[in-house]
Every structure is written in structure tokens, then in C-alpha cells.
Structure 1
Amino acid sequence: MQFHNNRSGRCGNELGLAQTAAGARPDGLLFPHPSNRATVKELFHRIVEDYYTWHGQCTGSPDTAPTAPHDAPEHRQGPGPGMDAVCRVVGELSGRLSHASVPWPSPMYLAQMTGDTPIAASLAYLCGMLYNPNNVTPEASPVTTELEHEVSDDLCRLLGYGARGWAHLSSGGHSANYEAIWIARNLRAVPQALAEHPGTRDLVSHHAPATLVNLGVDEVLALLDAASARDVREEVLRLAADIRRRGGLSDAKLLVARTAHYAWHKCVDLLGIGAGNTEWLEVDDGHRMDLSAVRNRVHAHLRRGQPIVAVVACAGSSGEGSVDDLDGILRLRQECEREYGASFYIHVDAAFGGYCRALCLDPAGDMLPYAEVSRLIHPAVLKQEVYDAFRALPRTDSATVDPHKNGHIPYPAGALAVRDRRLVSLIASGSAPYFGHGDGRRLPFGPHTLEGARPGAAAAAVWAAHQLTRPDCTGYGRVLAGCLATAQELHHRCRTRGVLRVMGREFRLVSRFEPDLNIVNLTVQPTQVLPGDDMGVVNLKVLEGLRADALADPHGQPWVSSNELASGDGASAGLHALRLCVMQEFDPPTLDMVWRSLREAISRQLAAVVAEPPAT
């Protein structure tokens, strides 16, 4: 069996990529296939044998071979079920899962940000899971903690944060985003604490109160270093915590786009920022954060000396896959630093789109010229403005990226990365007295993360996938270029072949905007609007019908999800769109099949809606 692995430093088939083996998709990741079934069974056998050898060594058992299921009742010791009962329960579970699970590997599945998982990642997860490592401390996970540090380096390279950065895995984008804003909120209280502490107030005495509340990230970190040199850092951080508790940040603002993930509503409640201090900004016609709206709000707050916790941008919004103008937001920050001497924290929710930055990276982690991305990866796949945003991302302060989305890793595998590892000290807690303190070379994960207990198996899965498909143009860049190309072709077909004739009427499938990444939003629109037409209701009923059909026939009908659009143009605001998440590349015959199935399924639902008697 051959896995895709190329660290040669060159991109594309013309530059010597490894040939894919039987069972590999065109994108280079090896997935289940009849041709590799025997080999995978052998690998399972080896993993289980190794596990039993380890287990026998741990228990001092003279016989480390697994017990045959039919012998289990006679040989079991102690209370509890025998192996016959175990086989029955596991057999029932396996049957239920295989009968009714969502068909992630099917090209007909276009609903959520989940796809088939590479064999290497699944086997690595299973292998790690058997040993039950907890990456809260190396004492509980000596192997997988080291793997997570290697993954951390990979993610910092992927996002452009480099050697100063730091990353860790999490359960998903929710917790990673919560942690980022926890850091940003705690940072915002530090300047006031420095001003109140007698040992540091001279460090900030030249700042007016209006600028003190919005000092730049790098300046605050440098001031904390100065407090460390005076041996009062911990006192300052305790004072900052006291300032937060007594409401010193009660008027601090968080700026988020209206298209942001629903987790952000939870985040502001959890961190006590409050609905009144959270500003949901408009988006433009491409469903990107409206830069003029950001500018207006930021300038208004800085003129008044109002604290800003953070501006939250998206690199792959969850509903639309849109990538905000990160370069424009960063230019705005520089403008504010010049005009007001004040700044703000920038966090990027790149949970979905972070891995797409691999399209732009050479194996050393450096940005390829835009012309090279288009030539070597896939012609006309990545928009110039999306490339510009990815080029700007390294200058942001933190980013969420989820390997279990466009990294194709089994759940749970989210991640948070920070540009400067000093930031995580703002949320650090002392290690539990029953944990060691690590080797001193790396920041320990437990004290510096929101979640303590985290599965080492997830780190093993991400590490294995990265070993075989690198997060650069030679690996994930090619994988995701195929996904983007398929999404763009679906958008193009809506524009050129989207006419549906249903019960004497003509409708069109409309892709609401050209996708930035691998998500397409479709709506149904009549060529001629008749009295009584309510296309909001029609699209919602089409969605409900498609969902019902997919649940009734999981393997024979297209799966789609929904998205309520919030476009700045007003034309599509409030419409329920058919949201297609393209998690694999389609060859031409597969694309034709999927397109035909979508048209037929939508036409069938439209016919049912048109045939309904008018409401009285």
C-alpha cells in the first residue's frame, strides 16, 4: 500500500508527485476501497496485537495473545460480561452504525463540513485511542504530547505564525474561539492594571486614558515583559483579573460580522461581554465583512476611548465559505495606530478555511506568488482577493483552524493558534500539584489551554495525516484545490445550465455569489414572478423536502444543508439557501451525476410546492 507523500518542494503532477495507489482518490488521500481491504485488516490485526502485547506487559500476563470470543465464557475472571456479550454488543453497534450513519464518503453528501477520513488518520486515532493518552500533561501522554507539539509547529507554519507562534488542539472551533476572546479580553485589562500598580505605573504614564484602554497587542506584551524584569508580572496579572471582576471592562466592544458562526452568541454570553457590547456588522455582496462598517465602528470607539476587545474576521465563514478582507482590516489597524495611538486585537475564525491556505505555500511555508498558485495547483481556483487575505493572515493575532473540517481528520480535532506565544500567559493557570512541569523546552498544554483533558488520539490522527499529506502546495493544497474547483464548477453550471421547467413554469437555480472557498449557496428563483409567489417560503419547503428524502433514502438522494443569507445588497437577505459543502473533488462523470441528481431532486420538490393549493 502506498500513501501520498511528497516533500520534494515542488507542486503538481508535472513536478513529480507520487502516483496514487489503488483506493486513492484523485486528490491524493487514500480512502477505503475494496483493493485495500485486506491490507487494512492486516493493519487492524497488527494494532490489536501490539496493544495486547503492551497490555500484557502492563499486567504481567504470561500470555499476551487475544482470547478467542467463543472461549471467553470459560476463561473470563471476575464479575462482568464475557466476550460473547462483548461481541454481541459491539456487533449490534457496528450494525446500527453501518445501517444508519450519514454517508460522508458519498459524492451525494454535500450537507456539512465533514467528509470521508483518510485511512492513516483513522488508524492513527484508533491506535492512539487504545492507549488512552490524555494530552493535559506528558505524564499521561508522553508520545502524543510530543506529536501535538509537532502538529503545533505545522499549524503555525500553515497560518504563517512561524517560530514565535504556538498552537494546540481542541475539541473544535467553539472552544478555540472562546479561548481566543478570553485571551483578547484579558489582554485589554492589562494596561489599566499597569497604571494602577505602583511598580509599573511609570511605564504607561505617558499614555492618555483614551489610548491606554486600547494599547496595541505587541506593546502590551512588551510592557508585561518589563513587569517581569521588575518581578511584578504576576501581581499585575492578578490586578488585571480584579479589574475585570469589578467591571472595569463592562463597556468593552466585540466586533463580529453578521455571518459569523452561531458559536459567537455563546461566546459573548460565556465571557460576560454581553449582547449590548457585541456589534454584528453588515456584510457586502460577497458575504464578507463590510470594511466600511468596521472602519466606522472602530473609529467611533477609539475617538471616545471605548475599549475594543477584538475585531473577529472570518477566513471561510461557516454558512458561505467567504473570506474577509484581512489585509484591509490590518491596514485599518495601522491607520488607527497612526491617528489615535490606539489599536485593537484581530482574531480570525479560520475553522473552515485555514487549511485552504496550503494552496499558497511552498514546502518551507513561504507564500508562492499568485501566478504560481494558479499555474501549479489549479487554474483560476483561488481568487486574487482570497490569496491577498491568506497572505495577510500572519499579521493577525490569533486564528482558529479545524483539522476535522478541511483537514479531513476524525472528530474531535479543532485548534487555536496564536501569533506570539506570550499571549497564552494571559490565561495560564498553575499546574495541578499532581502534574509535573514538563521538560522546560515547550509550553505545557494543560495550564495554557481552556480544555484540560484532551484526547491524545486526536493529535495522533492529525500528525499521521500531516506526515503523509503535508499542509502545503504538495499535499493539502492539491486536495483542497480539487474541492474548490468542483465548487466553482457547480457555481458555473447554475449560471449556464440552471433552468428548471416544472409544471409549465420556468425556474432557475441561482448561485447567490461566486464562492471564495468550497461552499456554494443556491436558491430557486422563478423566471417570471406571479402573484402569491413567496420565494422565501418556496426555498424553505424545497429544503425541507430534500432533507426528508435524504433521510428516507440516505444513499440515493443528495444531501444539502441550509443557510439563511444576510447579504449587504438586500436582494437575498433572509432567503434560505441550499448550502453545498464540497468536501471532495469530483471527476467529470461524478460531477455530471451529482448535478443531474440535484436538478432532479429540486425539480421534484418544486413540483410538490407548485401543486399545493394556495393558502386561504
Structure 2
Amino acid sequence: MKPVDIDALFLGPKSENRDFFKEALDFMMDEHIHWRRNFHPDDKDAITLENRRQDGFMSTLDRTREVLDELSDKLKASSLPWHSPRYLGHMNSDILMSATLAYMGVMLYNPNNVAGEASPATTIMELEAGQQMGKMMGFDPDKVWGHITSGGHIANFEALWFMRGLKSFPFGVKAVAPELLGSQSDWELLNLTPGQIFQLMDQTKDKGLFLEARKHSVRYTGMTADTLGQLIVPQSRHYCWDKAVDVLGLGLDNMTKIQVTSAFRMDMGHLREVVLDLMNKKIPIMGVVAVVGTTEEGAVDEIHEILKIREEAASKGMTFYFHVDAAYGGYNRSMFLDENDQFMSYSEMKGTLHEEKIVHRDLDWPPERVYQAYKAMSEADSIVVDPHKMGYTPYSSGMVVARDKRITDLISYFAPYVWTKGDLITTDRTS
């Protein structure tokens, strides 16, 4: 593989790569213009030369220029210089030329990824991006599902949507096919693993009962007096989690906050104490959220230790969904992978970071606990990453990836005016 020069990826603090940027931008614009002209080339121009000579036409273009000039003046006068190494006031930095050019190029085609027929090219690209992100996080690319959102807020909202749907689905099965559950108590149903719930979903599909079971889940019944349990988050969580609990009707009283250590990481002793206390009180846990790269400190929670606590709880009959909010630090995981996307050994990874001059030889980074945390991310049930942060793409974008794509059956909706192929879709088109 040929080496990558980072200086060739960005426009540069002084627009040093402006020639390439303008050439590539002209290419993207020309490609779109030619695409329009070659679509039914025998059609006559809708906007004729005579139209373009009219006073009203010319004055409209003049007004457009004035508005753009005004916009440019305002942007230059008060925007923040993310591109400059002199500016370190936010977590933002410069953005990739390729991302900027692609963003502006795609914008001209105005795709709408909510429906495949409105975005036949970009819908496929989005699903590919989800698979690629899942692979970078250590998930099986053949089983993972992910997509792009408008930012980390919505991506984390969606993860909470995953948890809520999964936690309630066994009770839908209880209502329509109790024989699939045997003699399991409600407490046991509240503590099925995501994998066990996915198996239940498959079994109800085999019996043609999935849609009926789903109608007895929280998707249809809403939140009831029978709680789905506590959402456990660290004190260092992003504030979007408080909003998500509010918007989705879970209630802030059902969010338990775990103390952080002096290093601003989730306190594992306090987490274990809370988990065992809830277990003793027979209060279920809907999910646990860990943070990889806190907004204020860049701290990385010990993902591997949280998994040990989950294993301990599972041995005693309690389990929970595990989500990693890696909006800020998720892209760092790429630094731990070799050219074949395999997670490197600790010594190999540190040697590579030094050889590639990513980390100075005199700096002992990362500590092994950070290495183990990033390695263990592959065991999470879902992960959120923000491309507009360390992915260097334009605002605003987020991504959510789920370990098992079957989760989409619990959250998908299909508009009756959109044609989509699929057995599930055709039987529930207006849901």
C-alpha cells in the first residue's frame, strides 16, 4: 500500500492545496452539468436565450449575487477558524477536501435517503458506509447494520430506541406465543440477552407471528406501569442522553448516573455496586452506556471492565444491553488496526504509532487500559460515532451501528406511498 500524506488531504491553513481543490470542484460541477444536459439531449432548452436576456431574469441573477456576497461577508466576519493550528477553542478541526468535495457534489443531485427510489446511488453508499464503520468497530460486516444520521444526538436517540424495543419484545411474545418462552418468569424475560431476543424474533417470524408480537411491545402499547428498567449512564455522559430519556418517555427518574474517577472515567466500583443493588431489588437494567471520548476531557471508559461486570451479573440471572457512545473518540479505533483491519497486539500497535510518527517515541501512549477499552468495543451491542468530529467531515453527521441488523425489524417504518420490496414490508406497509 502506498503511503498516505496527511498534508494532501486538507485544503490547508493557507489554502495551500487550492489548485487541486478548485480543479476537483470544477470537475464535480462539470460532471453534474453534463449529466443534466445529456438527460434526454433532444429536449429543447426550458430556459431559452430570450428568457435569459429579459430584465427580470438579469435582475434576479444580480439579486442572487448580492445575497451570496452578503452571505460570504457574514461567514468571513464571524466564523471560527477551525482550519488554523492557532485555534484550539473547540474539538473541531479542518475537514477533508474529499469529504467537502463529495458533499458539494452529491448535494447537486439532491438524493433523499429515506427512500431507495429517491436515492438509488446514495442509499447503497450509506449502507456500505454503515458496514465499513461496523467493521472498523470490530463487528461482523455481514451481520452489522448502520446508517448516517444528522448528528450524535439522533444517533444516540436511536440506540435508546434499540434498547427499548428489544427489552419489551419478549412480552409481545408472551402475549401471542407463550409456548416459545416455556416457564420463564417476567424477571427472566426482562433479562434475556440481545442474542436470545433476536432468536425469539426469528421464531415468531417462522410462525408468522412477528408482526402480532410486535404489536404487544412498547412500539404499540407505549410506556406502561411495568417499567423496562433503569438506563445506566456515567456522570460524564453527553447531555443528549438526558434529552433522549425525556423525549422517548422513559423519564429522568429512570436514569441512574454512575460516579466518575479523578481521571473522569466511569467508576467501575460504583457501577458494580449499582448493578448488584438493582439486581437485589429486582429492578431490571434496560441498558448501560459507556463513553469513549468524553466531550469535556476526552476520557475513555473502561469498556473491558464493564463487560466483566455484565458477565458477573449474567451469572446471577441479570443482563443488559450495552451501548458505547464513541461520538468523539470512535475514529481512534482505526489507529489500533493493521492494514487487514485486524486489531494489533499492544506492542505492535505502539511500535506502529511510533514508526508512522503518529505518536512521539518519547510518549508512552496509549496506556494499556485504553488499548483494552478500544479492543473490547467489538463486544458492544451498538456504537455511535460522529464523522464530523475525528472523521473530519462537514457538519453535521453522526453514525449509529448495531451488532445485529435484525434490530431494524423493531424500529423500521414504511410509508404507504413508497414502494419497497421485502416480505416484512409488504405485510406491514402502513405501520
> Counterparts of 1:160 and 1:97 in 2: how far apart (Å)?
40
> Counterparts of 1:43 and 1:332 in 2: how far apart (Å)?
51
Q: Does 1:74 align with 2:48?
A: no
1:422 to 382, 393, 406: 406
Deviation at 1:59, TM superposition (A): 8.0
1:334-483 aligned within 5 A = 334-340=311-317, 342-378=318-354, 379=361, 380-429=364-413, 431-437=414-420
What are the superposed Cα offsets for residues 98-137 of structure 1, whole Å, 9 maximum, x if unpaired? 2221111111221222111111111110000011111112
Deviation at 1:397, TM superposition (A): 0.4
> Counterparts of 2:146 and 2:308 in 1: how far apart (Å)?
25
Q: Does 1:43 align with 2:24?
A: yes
Which letter maps to 1:387? Y
Which letter maps to 1:356? N
> Counterparts of 2:258 and 2:67 in 1: how far apart (Å)?
51
> Counterparts of 1:348 and 1:248 in 2: how far apart (Å)?
28
1:192 to 148, 171, 188: 171
Deviation at 1:30, TM superposition (A): 2.9
Q: Look up the match of 2:298.
A: 321
Q: Look up the match of 2:36.
A: 55
Report the CA distance shift for 1:76/1:45 in structure 2 as closer, same or farther (over 3 A).
Answer: farther
Deviation at 1:37, TM superposition (A): 2.0
Report the CA distance shift for 1:384/1:81 in structure 2 as closer, same or farther (over 3 A).
Answer: farther
Q: Look up the match of 1:298.
A: 275
Do the aligned residues in 2 keep the contact of 1:30 with 1:119 (CA within 8 Å)?
yes
Q: Look up the match of 1:140.
A: 118
1:261 to 222, 233, 238: 238
Identical aligned pairs, as a percentage? 33
Deviation at 1:29, TM superposition (A): 2.7
SS of 1:131's equivalent? coil
Deviation at 1:157, TM superposition (A): 0.9
> Counterparts of 1:230 and 1:402 in 2: how far apart (Å)?
39
What are the superposed Cα offsets for residues 321-376 of structure 1, whole Å, 9 maximum, x if unpaired? 11111111111111111122x31000110000110001111232210111111111
Deviation at 1:77, TM superposition (A): 7.6
Name whichever of 363-372 and 203-212 sits farther off: 203-212
Name whichever of 383-392 and 296-305 sits farther off: 296-305
Which letter maps to 1:279? T
Do the aligned residues in 2 keep the contact of 1:73 with 1:82 (CA within 8 Å)?
no
Q: Look up the match of 1:237.
A: 214
Do the aligned residues in 2 keep the contact of 1:189 with 1:243 (CA within 8 Å)?
no
> Counterparts of 2:373 and 2:51 in 1: how far apart (Å)?
59
What are the superposed Cα offsets for residues 577-608 of structure 1, whole Å, 9 maximum, x if unpaired? xxxxxxxxxxxxxxxxxxxxxxxxxxxxxxxx
Do the aligned residues in 2 keep the contact of 1:55 with 1:64 (CA within 8 Å)?
no
Report the CA distance shift for 1:149/1:81 in structure 2 as closer, same or farther (over 3 A).
Answer: farther
What are the superposed Cα offsets for residues 253-281 of structure 1, whole Å, 9 maximum, x if unpaired? 11111110011110110111112111111
1:143-158 aligned within 5 A = 143-158=121-136
Q: Look up the match of 1:225.
A: 202
TM-score by length of 2: 0.89
Do the aligned residues in 1 keep the contact of 2:385 with 2:400 (CA within 8 Å)?
yes
Which letter maps to 2:401? A
Do the aligned residues in 2 keep the contact of 1:169 with 1:413 (CA within 8 Å)?
yes
Report the CA distance shift for 1:242/1:144 in structure 2 as closer, same or farther (over 3 A).
Answer: closer
SS of 1:45's equivalent? helix
> Counterparts of 2:136 and 2:273 in 1: how far apart (Å)?
32
Deviation at 1:44, TM superposition (A): 2.4
1:214 to 173, 188, 191: 191
Q: Does 1:167 align with 2:146?
A: yes
Do the aligned residues in 1 keep the contact of 2:228 with 2:286 (CA within 8 Å)?
no
TM-score by length of 1: 0.63
Deviation at 1:49, TM superposition (A): 2.2
Q: Look up the match of 1:31.
A: 11
What are the superposed Cα offsets for residues 363-401 of structure 1, whole Å, 9 maximum, x if unpaired? 322101111111111343322111101111111100100
> Counterparts of 1:17 and 1:38 in 2: how far apart (Å)?
22
SS of 2:81's equivalent? coil
Q: What 5-or-longer segments of structure 2 have no aligned partner? A: 355-360
Report the CA distance shift for 1:54/1:236 in structure 2 as closer, same or farther (over 3 A).
Answer: same
Do the aligned residues in 2 keep the contact of 1:167 with 1:418 (CA within 8 Å)?
yes
Deviation at 1:35, TM superposition (A): 4.3
Do the aligned residues in 2 keep the contact of 1:193 with 1:243 (CA within 8 Å)?
no
Deviation at 1:58, TM superposition (A): 4.8
> Counterparts of 2:116 and 2:223 in 1: how far apart (Å)?
37
Deviation at 1:62, TM superposition (A): 5.1
Do the aligned residues in 2 keep the contact of 1:252 with 1:273 (CA within 8 Å)?
no
SS of 2:148's equivalent? strand
Deviation at 1:421, TM superposition (A): 0.8
SS of 1:313's equivalent? strand
Query: Please, what is the CA RMSD of the aligned residues?
Result: 2.6
> How many residues end up aligned between the 2 structures?
414
Deviation at 1:245, TM superposition (A): 2.3
1:77-92 aligned within 5 A = 82-92=60-70
Do the aligned residues in 2 keep the contact of 1:172 with 1:412 (CA within 8 Å)?
yes
